[in-house]
Structures are given as structure tokens and as C-alpha cells.
Amino acid sequence: MVATAVTGVPAAVGTATIGPALKSVLDLVAERFHEDLTVADLADEAGYSPFHFSRLFVAAMRVPPARYLAAVRMDAAKRMLLTGDDAVIDVATAVGFDSLSSFSRRFRTSVGVPPGALRHLADKLADHPARPFQLGDARQATVRITPVLPVALGDKAHLWLGWYPQPAPVGLPRGGVLAEFGDPVDLPLAPGAPWLLGFAVPKGLDVTEQLAPTRPVVAVHHGPITEAGSVRLVFAAAGADSVPLLTALPSLCRKVG
């Protein structure tokens, strides 16, 4: 599709856009993510067959239920690592993993650094804020992105604009830019990752909020983008039940400190 000058749709998904059955499922995940929950358990909570439930869940949340559950677990692990001093193996157990190696592998794939390195990254960021950087293939055609932030945020924010394989921040981005809010951004396309997602990080936040935002300001373009053009991307506060932003964005650069 050609990217035209259209308004992005905020990526927030909250209780206002899902039915009571799915809301009950999200509440169950929030309360019991550390237990051995399965998709069948979540389907039972919603009152549907696993197949029908999975289709409804993807339509509402943009990711399969198993991936949402995994994202909630990883988000909880990030917060435990950033706010406490528990050993990594204790954090893994607390969020529902029996295997330290499996937890560490999934954490690195989702966040960008091993679990033990997240604390080191936080220490570096406390002394040396992340610098703007760009990832991607400069030979690719570009999309010009004009970000539109909430009035309350003004221009006091860093922006991450990235390409993802699906319309949710699951896994590491294939390309993107961390930039100061200002002029439109020209971002090379990333083949295989056509979904444009954005995150605004207000300046002055503490390190924990930078690396594990509680309610990030987000945006997602309404459809996949595979050709050059221009888009206007509107940001809004994420809903309480949104898919968590897992990637520790400064870890993608390796230029912190």
C-alpha cells in the first residue's frame, strides 16, 4: 500500500473498546499471570471455545492471547528487576517461569538485553540519557512521518518511531528512530515489518519510567505500509489493558554512556 497523508489510530486498547468477556480475561491475566495459565483457561473465563476466543482476542488486542500473557509476564519482570534487587532466578519464578534459561532467552528477545543487564542499562541511563539514533537500511525508500502529540505533552518528549511485524509492540523492531520531537521524520522502510508504531517518552521521567513506562503515550498507523509516502501519526495515552511496551529502546543503540 502507498502511505498517504492519513491520521494514525492510537494504539491504546482499553476497556472502552472490548466486551465484558474479554475484559474479564484481561483482569484474570493481570491477577494471575504468574500461574500456569493456558489459552484454554482464558477461553473458559470468556465462555468461548479456544478457537473462537483466540479469534476474538486477536481482533480486539492485535496479538494472540498467548503472546499477550507472555508480554504481561515480561513487563512484570522488567519492573521487578528495575525496582528491586531480587536475583534473576527469583524474578523468573515470580512471573511464572520454571526454567531460568527459557526466561532469559525470552526476556532478551523481547527487551533487547538479558535480564541481568537491564539494571546495568538503568544505571547508565541515570548518568547519561540516551542519544537520538536510527536503525535500518538507508537504501530503502522512506516514509515521512509527522507526529502529533497530545497538547499536555507539548514538545517535551523523545519519540520512538519503529517498524514491527505486527500492529503491537511484541518483539524487537526491525528498524526505527529515537528522535527529539520537532520536524517530520524520514524513516526507511523495513521489509517484513510493515507496521509503524510510535512511543513518546516525556523528558524528565525517572529511569524506571523510561524503561518500563506505566502508561506510555503511543500511536499505531491504521494499516501496513510497504511503499514510500507520508503519514500523520497521532499519539494518545495507552489504555490500561494495552499490550505492554517491552523493548528497552536505548538498548537498541548501544550508545548510552
Q: Nearest-CA neighbor of 243 among 170, 166, 176, 173?
A: 170
Q: Give every strand in the sheet of 195-202, ordered side by side.
A: 133-135, 175-180, 157-164, 195-202, 217-220, 236-237
The pLDDT tens digits for 116-174 are 999 998 888 888 777 788 888 999 999 999 999 887 776 677 889 999 998 988 888 99
pTM equals: 0.84
- Extract the C-alpha cell encoding 74: 515480561
| Cα-to-chain-centroid distance, residue 53 | 23
**DSSP 3-state percent helix, strand, coil across the chain (nearest 5):** 35, 20, 45
The pLDDT tens digits for 175-223 are 999 888 878 999 999 999 999 999 988 777 788 888 888 878 899 999 9
The pLDDT tens digits for 61-120 are 989 999 999 999 999 999 999 999 999 999 999 999 999 999 999 999 999 899 999 999
Compute, in degrees rounded to 10, the torsion defined by CA atoms 160, 164, 168, 171: -90
- Extract the C-alpha cell encoding 241: 489493558
User: If you ran DSSP here, which 8-state letter would residue 151 be given?
Assistant: T
Which tops the pLDDT comparison, 256 or 135?
A: 135
Helix/strand/coil for 67? helix
CA–CA distance from 198 to each of 123, 135, 186, 215 (Å)? 25, 14, 14, 14
Q: What angle do CA 180, 195, 203 make, to 5 degrees?
A: 20
